[in-house]
Chains A and B, each alone.
Chain A
Amino acid sequence: MFSLGCKKLEDLNKHPYLPYFWGFLGVMLFTVCTRLLGSFLGEVNIALLFLLPVLFTAVKWGRRAAVVISILAVLSFDFFLIPPYGSLTIWDMRYLVSFLMFLTVAWLTGTMSQRLGNQVKAIQEREIRMAALNTLSQKIAFTTDLDSVLQTLVKKIAETLDGQVVVLLSDENQMLKVMAGTLTNIGDQEYAVAAWVYHHNQAAGRGTKNLSEVQGVYLPLSTEQGVIGVMGVCFNNPGDNHYQEYIHLLDAFSNLTSVAVVRIRLWEKAQETHLLQESEKLYSALLNSLSHDLHTPLASIIGAVTGLIEGEELYSHAAKRELFLTINQESQRMNRLVNNLLEMTRLEGGIVKVRKELCDLEDIMGVAVGRMKDLLANRVIYIKVKPGVPLVPVDFVLMEQVLVNLIENAVKYSEPGNKISLYACSDDEKAEVSVTNQGKEMPNAVLEKVFDKFYRMDSLGRVGGSGLGLAICKGIVEAHGGKIWASNNSGEGVIITFSIPLNEHGQKRVIERNCQEVEVAKI
């Protein structure tokens, strides 16, 4: 049953004799009153007064109660107030007209009030349905995950209809599969009905015209593109005409479900298209990178090596050494590039697993600087970790990659002899690491874009690279729940800063470690 506002009706269901009791009481009261005041009021008024309980009952409880009470009132009037008193015999036949009046009034008002009541009930029901549908559609409007949308739908429908709900969707082989439901284990028979509904695009099951011998009622989830699945409802207290009673609501729910499913499928398709476009972009950029950034070092390497192979004796010792250095540098550059391409592909593919453990930022900085030793040969490097920075929960190897990329970037956009500083500090919630170079400032619009994939600054001259370095940094930092941003270093260059949250877990471990330290020292 609905949790409808029709409280009166519920009362009636619980106590079916209540109106008769009250009517009887009313009639008796009037009888006693008019009996006492009879001579004062006059018979006409008394008759009219007796109409009151009849009207009241009619308005409040409907036709049947009104008729019964009117008969009661007539009898009581006749018995107590019309001579001969104490008998149902009537001397004056005009009173028969009064009796008829009573009955007519009772009948008419009762009918009208009942009709009115029914209308109110219908309106209230509709309102509740609308509210249920409304909240439901709001709830699912912004979700893009099919499972959670279906879960929400199923829960709400089950709650509203007081039953078990199951949603079956067809897969690519036109087979129905249970996707969600409070009732996920449906029997073969029920499944067969669901399949029938799916193929015939008609409702079936209990209370309908089709296959009504099963427990549930099944409705097709139809869309413009055809039927996409079936919704089944199994009422907890199935009445014979439950289906008829709830047909509109069931239709509304099944429509809502179809719309939701279609919307999400379309969204997914749009996502796929978007991904495809992205990956096409990735491929074309990859090709660009390969053609330019891999060819350039390869050209140097092949040139140098073939020179050495073909005419080794032509080169002086110093010249040979220079060629070897070129080969080395260019291969290192290619190695970094290939690493970046691989890293980006893995980040995008979700293959990268962040293995967080408590790490020393100073250590990571040291390793990153060590790895970039050759590149940093003609820069001045400063490393500073503010005292008191705790161990930070990060993946050492990935963080090292972030710093390597940031350092490479800082080198790219600065001149030999410039200073590059690495700085780390922390507060209660996060640790911050920044890499600052001396070089040109960047316009604000550029600062926002540097972390985009394949973004390269044209304004600062031709600089080699895949345009992936900072995008990888962003990917890794965000995988740690952190943030990364770029800012200008008051006219002196660019600062790239990233923050890593020190979660509760990390904090706790640090404290734990301090206790342990004391203990270990004692041993």
Chain B
Amino acid sequence: MTAKGIRVLIIDDEPQIRRMLRVALNAHGYETGEAQCGETGLQQAALFRPDLIILDLGLPDLDGIDVVLNLREWTTVPILVLSVREHEQDKIKALDAGADDYLTKPFGMGELLARIRAALRHAGGSTEDPVLLFGDLSIDLAHRVVTVTEKEIKLTPIEWDILKALAINGGKVLTHKQLLHTVWGPGYEGEMHYLRVYVGQLRRKVEINPAQPGHIITEPGVGYRLL
């Protein structure tokens, strides 16, 4: 996918971070806009019409969560939140409030670009193709067939639902709450241990080495993503 002309708005109060992101993203063909606080960020989001927003949760004027909620009132533009490790709960809140993904500072550029691509892909609605490929793992949504290195594997209904939810959001993090809600339905959002058990089972089926998974990645304290 080419990044030509894709507009990214960076909302962060640290000029160094903004500069680093601007240089790196420009080098990869993205067009960038910048805002140093939440208020300008919200204005810029309307004026600059970005295709993706990178939002730092620790802004001087507004709570990052409020910025997400505010944006989500009128736009579905993908939002990537940046947070520091100490504030686990903030990023979960931001994700549940409608942010698409998160990165913990400090992060590598490769990681950032991968997240941006995943978020854009998801936003583009490019899941028309019923067969989703993740390396040696292929998921045929239409025929409910999952193969690993071209060998078909059998999944229980719950396992299938989890894998499907992750696959549709390919590369994007799904919080525990979101997954539990999607798979088990409302009222199960607190039953994290269901998820742990089924993800464990699922890994045994789709991963070559379940102890060091390459597809179903745990985001500690947050959720899972499929790569």
Contacts and interface: CB of A to CB of B under 8 A. Distances in A.
Counting contact residues on chain B (CB < 8 A from A), the size range is 20 to 34
A357 B158 contact: no
Contacts of A331: 106
B199 A383 contact: no
Count chain B CB atoms within 10 A of each CB in A342, A370, A523 and give the residue with the most: A370
A128 interface: no
Interface in A373-389: 383-385
Interface residues of A, number: 32
Contact of A366 (B86, B193, B218): B218
Given A363-B200, A370-B212, A397-B88, A513 B221 contact: no
A521 interface: yes
Contact of A362 (B85, B88, B156, B200): B200
Interface string B65-109: 000000000000000000001101000000000000000001000
Given A335-B106, A360-B196, A517-B197, A367 B218 contact: yes
A400 B220 contact: yes
B213 interface: yes
B192 interface: yes
A383 B218 CA distance: 16
A49 interface: no
Interface in B123-177: 156-158
Count chain A CB atoms within 10 A of each CB in B158, B196, B213 and give the residue with the most: B196
Interface string A350-370: 000001011110110111011
Contacts of B200: 360, 362-363
Interface string A507-520: 00110010011001
Contacts of A517: 197
Nearest to B86: A342
Contacts of A396: 220-221
B85 A339 contact: yes
B203 to A, nearest CB: 8
Interface string B189-211: 00011101101100000000011
Contacts of B106: 331, 335
A509 B158 CA distance: 19
A510 B191 CA distance: 12
A227 interface: no
B88 A520 contact: no
Interface of A: 331, 335, 339, 342, 346, 355, 357-360, 362-363, 365-367, 369-370, 383-385, 391, 396-397, 400, 509-510, 513, 516-517, 520-521, 523
Given A366-B210, A366-B212, 19 more contacts: A331-B106, A339-B85, A355-B221, A359-B196, A362-B210, A363-B199, A365-B211, A366-B211, A369-B212, A391-B193, A391-B196, A396-B220, A396-B221, A397-B221, A509-B193, A516-B194, A520-B157, A520-B194, A523-B157
